């Protein structure tokens, strides 16, 4: 059996075979249902993305930390837009690969029957509506096409990442279905108010209705009244739908934790193609770049304790009870010693981008809300990312202080109009978890992908998967006596790595 698995994996990972095969972790990688610490069943069993089509044996083999085999699409498999994909497990920091990925083509439709008005989350309650996961809708091919790619970088377990990879795209599709009648008329600005049935609401005066006395100060000129209303574009409405779907996903994880074991949290990066535009939504420290004519167009910003320092400090300032009398929202260049009370030291708070001096008082001796630099920066000495999904139970070590209030599930959404630019076969969107970017710059990625694709046959259906594999192997490096090393002998990435390489010409042939 082992030889069969090795032969199959040699095709799957491009001939990169390890020297040994040891199952030293009892973590049921084959997908067996295991209960969480509270005896609750998992919401979804552990697995790798369905499009990899792994057998249980290959799934188990993919967890080898010593060899770190690279998983790619099988030759003959096809994702929308001829998307390329590759992934690799970490070097031992967690037993399983906590990254997850999703790539789907869906169709946006108006909700029908009992599902009408059921998909919108009531923001004033914690009510989560049913999610439409209808396989027949994919088959009939009717509706507005929607392409979705997502990478989910889990931490403290893979439960939240797996759940988000299974459900987030359906939440986005269902929410878009509620405004489908607006998507079908893109030339018209969205109405400011919708009736309860979801149709545009227009004020109509009923016959015989009593008229309010006319306000002498009211604006009577209809053109002036029009310009007093804010015009909202369809693009910004779609952005809001995506942002709200992320919040709905986070609420759903919290709700279902009462019935299921859903471990940890995850950073979430999603790309949605709808009606000629790419909407890239990022909550966390994963990254996406567009490579066009060998130039880099960043599509994300990373959300870390350093990049969101002022937001976090402001929350700590407004609600000091969240700090548990253990932390201070003020930042200092280093920890303060008790002997330094009364002295003046550099500091900055939520109102400042620069530094100034303040006299040290007793309250300043508390541990800073944000501490450390770069990849070592942490919120409450615990977590190194500030946006994502899940983490509802995360607490400061050995305390009852919850960290979730400081973590945002709302993504930043950037838009790229595919129809306004001409693209060649080597122009791509690269999406990757932080395991890729920790050791590779945007420029390095662009050069590597452009160089690799320029040597590939444009008609080869595997060219983008091979480019993803090449990119991933550059960041993982080669195993040597001193660990995984890059070509320049620097330390390679020891993290889980997940990469999509998405050709931008794909929308012209696969819409």
Find residue 483's DSSP bridge partners.
480
**Integer Cα distance of 484 and 99 in angstroms:** 19
What DSSP line would sit under 125-191, residue for residue? S---------HHHHHH--SEEEEEEEEEEEES-SHHHHHHHHHHHHHHHHHHHHTHHHHT-TTSPPP
**Integer Cα distance of 437 and 264 in angstroms:** 22
Q: Vertex 164, ends 184 and 131: CA angle to 5°?
A: 50
According to the model, what pLDDT value does residue 132 have?
A: 60
Say how many Å lie between the first and final Cα of the chain, rounded: 42
- Max Cα-Cα span within the chain: 89
Q: Name the one residue in this structure whose structure tokens are 């060998």.
A: 294
Dihedral sign (CA 358, 362, 363, 366): positive
Q: Name the one residue in this structure whose structure tokens are 């609600």.
A: 319
Say which residues have a Cβ less than 8 Å from residue 187's Cβ, sequence separation at least 6: none
What average pLDDT values come out for the chain (511 residues) when binned by 10 residues? 39 35 41 64 96 95 95 92 97 96 96 55 45 57 93 97 98 96 90 73 45 51 63 95 98 97 97 98 98 97 97 98 96 95 97 97 96 94 97 96 98 97 96 97 97 93 96 96 93 97 88 50
Q: Helix (H, G, I), strand (E, B), or coil: what is residue 299?
A: coil
According to the model, what pLDDT value does residue 124 have?
A: 43
**pTM of the model as a whole:** 0.86
Say which residues have a Cβ less than 8 Å from residue 250's Cβ, sequence separation at least 6: 389, 390, 409
What DSSP line would sit under 39-90, residue for residue? SPPBSS-----GGG---HHHHHHTT-TTT-PPEEPPBTB--GGG-EEEEE--
Structure tokens at 433: 């978890």
Conformational region of residue 335, where left means phi above 0, alpha means psi within -120 to 50, and beta covers everything else = beta
Say how many C-beta atoms besides its own lie within 10 A of residue 337's C-beta. 10
Q: What is the DSSP letter of 336?
A: P
Dihedral sign (CA 244, 247, 252, 258): negative
User: Among 98, 102, 100, which residue's Cα sits nearest to residue 158?
Assistant: 98
**Integer Cα distance of 29 and 45 in angstroms:** 9
Structure tokens at 285: 């420290």
User: Among 465, 471, 466, which residue's Cα sits nearest to residue 492?
Assistant: 471
CB 500 within 8 A of CB 103: yes
What DSSP line would sit under 337-395, residue for residue? PGGGTTSEEEEB-TT-SS-EEEE--GGGGSEESEE-SGGG-EETTTBS-SB-EE-TT-B
Q: Name the one residue in this structure whose structure tokens are 């009531």.
A: 122
According to the model, what pLDDT value does residue 230 have?
A: 84
* Run of H or E including 454: helix 442-454
Structure tokens at 232: 């909202």
Count, residues in the chain = 511
According to the model, what pLDDT value does residue 9 have?
A: 38
Say which residues have a Cβ less than 8 Å from residue 489's Cβ, sequence separation at least 6: none
Phi, psi for 154 (deg, rounded to 5): -80, 155
Structure tokens at 242: 């995506």
């Amino acid at each position: 059996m082992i030889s069969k698995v090795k032969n199959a994996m040699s095709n799957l990972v491009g001939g990169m075979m390890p020297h040994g095969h040891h199952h030293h972790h009892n973590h049921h990688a084959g997908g067996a249902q295991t209960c969480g610490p509270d005896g609750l069943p998992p919401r979804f069993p552990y697995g790798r993305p369905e499009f990899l089509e792994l057998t249980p044996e290959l799934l188990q083999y993919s967890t080898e930390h010593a060899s770190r085999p690279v998983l790619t699409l099988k030759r003959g498999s096809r994702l929308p837009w001829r998307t390329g994909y590759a992934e690799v497990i970490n070097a031992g920091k967690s037993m399983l690969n906590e990254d997850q990925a999703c790539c789907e083509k869906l169709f946006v439709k108006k909700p029908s029957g009992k599902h009408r008005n059921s998909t919108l989350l009531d923001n004033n309650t914690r009510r989560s509506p049913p999610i439409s996961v209808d396989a027949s809708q994919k088959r009939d091919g009717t509706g507005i096409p929607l392409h979705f790619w997502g990478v989910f970088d889990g931490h403290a377990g893979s439960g939240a990442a797996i759940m988000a990879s299974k459900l987030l795209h359906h939440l986005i599709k269902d929410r878009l279905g509620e405004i489908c009648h607006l998507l079908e008329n893109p030339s018209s600005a969205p109405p400011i108010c919708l009736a309860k049935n979801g149709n545009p609401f227009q004020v109509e005066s009923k016959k015989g209705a009593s008229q309010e006395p006319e306000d002498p100060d009211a604006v009577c000129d209809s053109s002036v009244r029009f310009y007093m209303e804010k015009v909202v574009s369809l693009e910004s409405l779609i952005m809001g739908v995506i942002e709200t779907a992320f919040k709905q996903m986070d609420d759903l994880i919290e709700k279902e934790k009462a019935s299921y074991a859903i471990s940890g949290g995850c950073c979430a990066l999603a790309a949605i193609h709808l009606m000629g535009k790419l909407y890239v939504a990022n909550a966390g420290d994963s990254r996406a770049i567009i490579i066009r004519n060998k130039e880099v167009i960043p599509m994300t910003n990373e959300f870390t304790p350093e990049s969101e320092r002022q937001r976090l400090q402001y929350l700590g300032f407004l609600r000091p009870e969240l700090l548990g009398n253990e932390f201070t929202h003020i930042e200092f260049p280093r920890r303060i010693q008790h002997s330094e009370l009364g002295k003046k030291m550099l500091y900055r708070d939520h109102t400042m981008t620069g530094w100034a001096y303040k006299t040290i008082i007793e309250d300043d001796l508390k541990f800073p809300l944000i501490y450390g630099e770069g990849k070592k920066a942490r919120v409450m000495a615990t977590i190194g990312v500030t946006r994502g999904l899940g983490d509802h139970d995360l607490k400061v070590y050995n305390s009852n202080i919850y960290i979730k209030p400081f973590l945002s599930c709302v993504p930043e959404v950037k838009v790229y109009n595919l129809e306004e630019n001409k693209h060649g076969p080597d122009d791509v969107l690269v999406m990757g978890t932080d395991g890729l970017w920790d050791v590779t710059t945007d420029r390095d990625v662009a050069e590597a992908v452009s160089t690799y694709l320029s040597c590939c046959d444009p008609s080869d259906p595997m060219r983008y998967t091979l480019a993803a594999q090449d990119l991933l192997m550059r960041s993982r490096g080669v195993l040597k006596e001193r660990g995984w090393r890059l070509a320049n002998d620097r330390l390679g990435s020891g993290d889980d790595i997940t990469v999509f390489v998405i050709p931008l010409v794909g929308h012209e042939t696969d819409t």
